[in-house]
Structure 1
Amino acid sequence: MWRFECDYTEGAHPEIMKRLLETNEEQTPGYGEDFYCGQARKKIQDLCGRADADVHFLVGGTQTNATVIRAALRPHQGVLSAESGHINVHETGAIEASGHKVLALPGEYGKLSARQIQEACQAHYTDSSQEHIVQPGMVYLSHPTEIGTLYSLAELQEIRKVCQEWGLWLFLDGARLGYGMAASGSDISFRELAELCDVFYIGGTKVGALFGEAVVIMASALKKDFRYMIKQQGGMLAKGRLLGIQFDTLFTDDLYLKISRHAVQMAEQIRDGFQKLGYSFFCESQTNQQFLILSPAQIEALSEKYSFSIWEEVDQEHIAVRFCTSWATKEEAVEELLADAAAIKTQA
């Protein structure tokens, strides 16, 4: 069985496993105050071109989103998100459980626009009953989005302008950030994120690490007491060096982007191969997620040998599915998938 249902089915990149084993019996301070976390922080600061960036290491994406949003918002505030945003769909109400509402807006291919944010804020502040309504306090973006689409630098700049106009925090979820940066046509780097976002995070769990996300805080007001929030949310790992070693390794010799490029190349082979066979796509994606439209019979046939995600029903006879590659996807698996896709093309 070849698995394409997500990008975290494997353990960790061999270089990370090697470093963890090499340092296994070292004694270090806990809670992220060790040498390795310090070294990883410095490498991330250098990538961002900002020595003033605060960098914190947490274990997973939902924990990271909940911690950042809870730290940033006042009790009466909510967070603007695309309807398909991870915090709105796949986090079991973690944000609402912390006392904050997700203010969902219809996304275009998973993305929010500056115009939508502007209109949402105008609608709130021109409502005569505004004190009775949750106030927008933050904009949450995912890059890439849940359907593999990307924000352009121009789009991010426009969103930043609107956030500044209305006093909104700008938070970017980078769970798959490496795959976004490695995609063809991507024009957003760590330096642009550090310039435009108040806070963002660099995903490790889905990009080669055993686990871990690196939160990068640029806004001074968010830096104060953030470690208190990490602790309160259960995110302060006692053996913090396990996170530091992983990110230190990922950001040595450009490993993070190298392995991200491999995943994107494998996804491009899937995309190009299915296109040549005449299959239709649910949406266009330049990243490691590819969304195909298949018939139930085709899904049943491919499911005998491959695992992939059922996304949504397109019509009574077609279903959108997701094939997701990772840093560890083997070309052999992609070649077999395309060969089998060719064999079942005529199945209704």
Structure 2
Amino acid sequence: MRYSFLNDYSEGAHPSILNALVESNMIQQTPYGDDVFSVDAKQRIRKHLGASFSGSVHFVASGTLANLVSISSVLKPYEAVITVQSGHIVSHEAGAIEATGHKLITVPGVEGKLTPVNLKEAIAKNSFFPHMAKPGLIYISNVTEMGTVYTHAELSALSAIAKEHGLLLFMDGARMGMALASNKNDMTLADIAELCDVFWIGGTKVGALLGEAIVVSNPDLVEGFDICIKQKGGLLAKGRLLGVQFQTLFNDELLYVDIARHANAMAAQLAQGIKAAGYDLQDEPDANQVFAILPNTLIETLKQSFEFFVWQPVDDKKSLVRLVTSWATEESQVIRFVEQLSS
């Protein structure tokens, strides 16, 4: 069987989560997220959102659902979403946002990030009302699809533009754990809550069986948000399953960030090994995604032992590949991959 560097959710769940699910399994609970585990998990998350946080926290099962529910619930029918061309909602969610009637306005990203210059240009180009969809929300990801992490200054600049133009700022946090654990990170969850109107904390890619935590920071958006989750099929009868997992991830030792550090460390080791073998990286990894430029012949050889994504061709002889590490990545497999680069 080939070892997978294809994504960060090939494994099941962190053992601590499985243990917690087993230990709580026979305890009867109120359904639909009103169980004691979910209530406690939300309180644990709230502790990291700052003393002034007056929003709400909601659990849903998947990232696409988190994006779909959040964006469609806070926008007016005629409002559009500004996102970089590499945004997850553009190419990996089957047009889920557009299916709700909201146009995606795509702009070039810089290392996967939305820049103030490109954002302002998009706003200016989409202001011929009522003949154009009106920008209503800015979508970004942290970590981005290109593996980069936003800094406090970068997020602050986008937040200021959003407020200036009456737009909502939304952050997809599928890999939020890896962002928080990154050496490039200089933000806390409280900082993100202050600067974003809505964001979510990913569990699926950070050790959970499934589940994401949507944080509605803007108090004006709280009313009816839970009803929108129900309408979109996102309210689980056994909401306890999500609560138990986030209760475990946000334990006193903050397991959520601790296991993300391992993912990032394995990516750094992988990147170092690739460079030592004489091959180039697109950039130094900020988190748990490594983008490397490898010869096509070598790629075919590596595919016999490993799974990974061939991102795009570089030229006739080389391609850019993406290697993703996780909380469960075995160091021995990282070493084996690097060894095969030189064999």
Instruction: State if a TM-score over 0.5 links the two structures.
Output: yes
Identity of aligned residues (%): 44
1:110 aligns with 2:112: yes
Which residue type is aligned with residue 67 of structure 1?
Answer: V
Conserved? CA contact 1:147–1:285, under 8 Å: no
- The structural deviation recorded for 1:199 is 0.6
- The structural deviation recorded for 1:327 is 0.2
1:280 aligns with 2:293: no
- The structural deviation recorded for 1:277 is 1.2
Match of 2:330 in 1: 330
Match of 2:217 in 1: 218
Conserved? CA contact 1:54–1:216, under 8 Å: yes
1:47 aligns with 2:48: yes
Q: Cα deviation per residue 1:247-296 (whole Å; 9 max; x = unaligned)?
A: 00000021001100000000000011111111012233211000111122
Q: In the aligned structure 1, how far is the partner of 2:322 from the partner of 2:18?
A: 29
Q: In the aligned structure 1, how far is the partner of 2:280 from the partner of 2:133?
A: 41
Match of 2:248 in 1: 249
Match of 1:197 in 2: 196
Helix, strand or coil at the partner of 2:105: strand
Conserved? CA contact 2:271–2:284, under 8 Å: no
- The structural deviation recorded for 1:180 is 1.0
1:83 aligns with 2:82: no
Q: Cα deviation per residue 1:19-40 (whole Å; 9 max; x = unaligned)?
A: 0000111110111111111101
Q: In the aligned structure 2, how far is the partner of 1:134 from the partner of 1:306?
A: 44
Q: In the aligned structure 2, how far is the partner of 1:254 from the partner of 1:20?
A: 18
Conserved? CA contact 1:178–1:207, under 8 Å: yes
1:180 aligns with 2:179: yes
Which residue type is aligned with residue 238 of structure 1?
Answer: A
Match of 1:70 in 2: 72
Q: In the aligned structure 2, how far is the partner of 1:283 from the partner of 1:23?
A: 44
Which residue type is aligned with residue 9 of structure 1?
Answer: S
Conserved? CA contact 1:45–1:53, under 8 Å: no
Consecutive unaligned residues of structure 1, counting only runs of 5 or more, are 344-348
- The structural deviation recorded for 1:121 is 1.6
- The structural deviation recorded for 1:196 is 0.4
Q: In the aligned structure 2, how far is the partner of 1:120 from the partner of 1:4?
A: 35
Helix, strand or coil at the partner of 2:48: helix
Match of 1:9 in 2: 10
Which residue type is aligned with residue 138 of structure 2?
Answer: V
Match of 2:138 in 1: 139
Q: Cα deviation per residue 1:80-113 (whole Å; 9 max; x = unaligned)?
A: 0000000011000000111111111111111101
Helix, strand or coil at the partner of 1:115: helix
Q: In the aligned structure 2, how far is the partner of 1:287 from the partner of 1:59?
A: 24
1:29 aligns with 2:11: no
Conserved? CA contact 1:45–1:52, under 8 Å: no
Consecutive unaligned residues of structure 2, counting only runs of 5 or more, are none
Q: Cα deviation per residue 1:125-184 (whole Å; 9 max; x = unaligned)?
A: 3x4xx2111110000000010010111110100100000000000000000011111111
Q: Which residue among 94, 101, 110 is the counterpart of 2:103?
A: 101
Helix, strand or coil at the partner of 2:29: coil
Alignment: residue pair count: 340
- The structural deviation recorded for 1:123 is 2.6
Which residue type is aligned with residue 137 of structure 1?
Answer: G
Match of 1:123 in 2: 125
Q: In the aligned structure 2, how far is the partner of 1:149 from the partner of 1:284?
A: 9
Q: In the aligned structure 1, how far is the partner of 2:130 from the partner of 2:314?
A: 40
- The structural deviation recorded for 1:325 is 0.3
Match of 1:346 in 2: none
Which residue type is aligned with residue 213 of structure 1?
Answer: E
Conserved? CA contact 2:268–2:285, under 8 Å: no
Conserved? CA contact 2:54–2:219, under 8 Å: no
